[in-house]
C-alpha cells in the first residue's frame, strides 16, 4: 500500500503515545544533537514502519531539523512504499565507496529524507559481522549529516541470525522505542524482547502503544 502524507497522519493519530515520544526526542535533541532512535517491536506487524514514517513526518514538520528515516529491516523492508520509493542501492558498492549521501533520497516531504533498504543479493554473501559493521558505518555517517535519525528495524522475535537484528543495531543507536500492538502480543514476549535488547546494550527509552484493531 502506498502511503500519502494524509494516510500517515491518519494512521499515526491512532498511535496513542506518539506525540509524547516525539516531545521526548525533541527535548533530547535540543540538548544533544544529533539523535538516533531505533524503532522495534517484540513481534512482526506491530506498527514499527508506520511509527517510523509518522515520527519522521512530525519531526520534519518543525522545519528546523534535518530528519532521516532509515530502513534497516533489510530482509523485509517496508519503509520505501510509505514514500513511493523503490530500493535501488547496492550494499557491496557502498562497502567500497562509502558514499552514503548518494544513496539517500528525498521523501517528498520537506526536511525529511529516506535511506531505503539496499537491494540484497543472494544470502550468504556477507557475514553477520560484516553487515553489522556496515550498519554502524551508515549510522555514523548519517549522524554527520542529520539532526534526527529514525531507524526502522525488524522485530526482536523470531530471533534473526542476520545483522539486521535490532538486538545488534540497538547498541549503535542512542535510544530504542518499542511498539506494542495491544491485545495481540503477549506481555511476556514484550518483556523478553526488552531484556534481550537491554542485555545487548540498547537503551529502551519507552513503549508506544498501538491500539490498532486489524480487520484481518
Ligand X SMILES: Nc1ncnc2c1ncn2[C@@H]1O[C@H](COP(=O)(O)OP(=O)(O)OP(=O)(O)O)[C@@H](O)[C@H]1O
Which residue(s) pair with 148 in the sheet? 35, 67
**186-205 mask for ligand X (x: CB under 6 A)?**
--------------------
Q: Are 3 and 85 in contact (CB under 8 A)?
A: no
Q: Is 78 in the site for Mg ion (CB under 5 A)?
A: yes
141: which 3 cell numbers? 555517517
Segment interacting with ligand X (CB under 6 A) among 19-27, 28-36, 37-45, 156-164: 37-45
**Using the rule CB under 6 A, which residue among 24, 34, 78, 133 binds ligand X?**
78
**Which one of 107, 116, 155, 185 is in contact with ligand X (CB under 6 A)?**
155
Q: Total residues contacting Mg ion (rule CB under 5 A)?
A: 3
**Counting contacts by CB under 5 A, is residue 153 touching Mg ion?**
no
Span of 25-33, 41-49, 62-70, 200-208 interacting with Mg ion by CB under 5 A: 41-49
Distance between CA 165 and CA 118 in Å, rounded? Answer: 15
CB-nearer residue toward ligand X: 51 or 172: 51
Q: Give me the phi and psi of 33, to 5 degrees please.
A: -75, 155
Output the CA torsion sign for 152, 119, 82, 182: negative
Residue list 39-68, contact with ligand X (CB under 6 A): 41, 44-50
- Look at residue 170 and give the partner it binds from ligand X, Mg ion, none, a contact being a CB closer than 5 to 8 Å depending on partner kind: none
How far apart are alpha carbons 172 and 27 in whole angstroms?
20
- Cα–Cα distance for residue pair 26/35, rounded to 1 Å: 9
What's the sign of the alpha-carbon dihedral 172, 115, 165, 159?
positive
Does position 70 interact with ligand X (CB under 6 A)? The reply is: no
To the nearest whole angstrom, how small is the minimum distance from the Cβ of residue 156 to ligand X? 10
**Nearest distance in Å: CB 97, ligand X:** 29
DSSP 101: G
Cβ-based nearer residue to ligand X, 126 or 210: 210
User: What ranges in 126-186 are assigned the alpha helix state H?
Assistant: 128-145, 166-169
SS3 letters across 34-53: CEEEEEEECCCCCCHHHHHH
| Residues contributing to the site for Mg ion (CB under 5 A) | 48-49, 78
Binding residues vs ligand X (CB under 6 A):
11, 14-15, 41, 44-50, 73, 76, 78, 155, 210, 212
Amino acid at each position: 500500500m502506498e502511503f500519502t502524507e494524509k494516510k500517515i497522519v491518519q494512521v499515526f493519530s491512532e498511535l496513542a503515545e506518539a506525540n509524547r515520544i516525539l516531545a521526548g526526542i525533541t527535548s533530547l535533541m535540543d540538548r544533544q544533537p544529533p539523535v538516533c532512535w531505533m524503532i522495534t517491536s517484540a513481534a512482526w506487524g506491530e506498527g514499527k514502519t508506520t511509527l517510523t514514517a509518522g515520527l519522521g513526518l512530525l519531526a520534519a514538520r518543525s522545519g528546523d531539523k534535518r530528519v532521516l528515516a532509515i530502513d534497516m529491516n533489510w530482509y523485509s523492508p517496508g519503509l520505501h512504499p510509505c514514500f513511493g520509493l523503490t530500493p535501488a542501492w547496492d550494499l557491496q558498492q557502498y562497502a567500497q565507496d562509502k558514499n552514503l549521501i548518494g544513496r539517500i533520497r528525498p521523501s517528498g516531504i520537506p526536511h525529511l529524507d529516506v535511506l531505503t533498504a539496499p537491494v540484497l543479493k543472494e544470502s550468504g554473501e556477507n557475514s553477520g559481522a560484516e553487515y553489522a559493521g556496515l550498519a554502524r558505518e551508515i549510522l555514523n555517517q548519517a549522524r554527520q549529516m542529520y539532526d534526527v535519525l529514525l531507524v526502522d528495524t525488524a522485530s526482536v522475535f523470531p530471533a534473526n541470525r542476520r545483522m539486521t537484528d535490532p538486538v545488534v543495531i540497538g547498541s549503535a543507536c542512542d535510544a530504542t522505542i518499542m511498539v506494542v500492538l495491544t491485545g495481540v502480543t503477549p506481555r511476556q514476549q514484550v518483556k523478553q524482547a526488552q531484556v534481550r535488547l537491554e542485555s545487548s546494550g540498547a537503551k529502551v527509552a519507552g513503549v508506544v502503544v498501538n491500539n490498532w484493531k486489524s480487520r484481518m
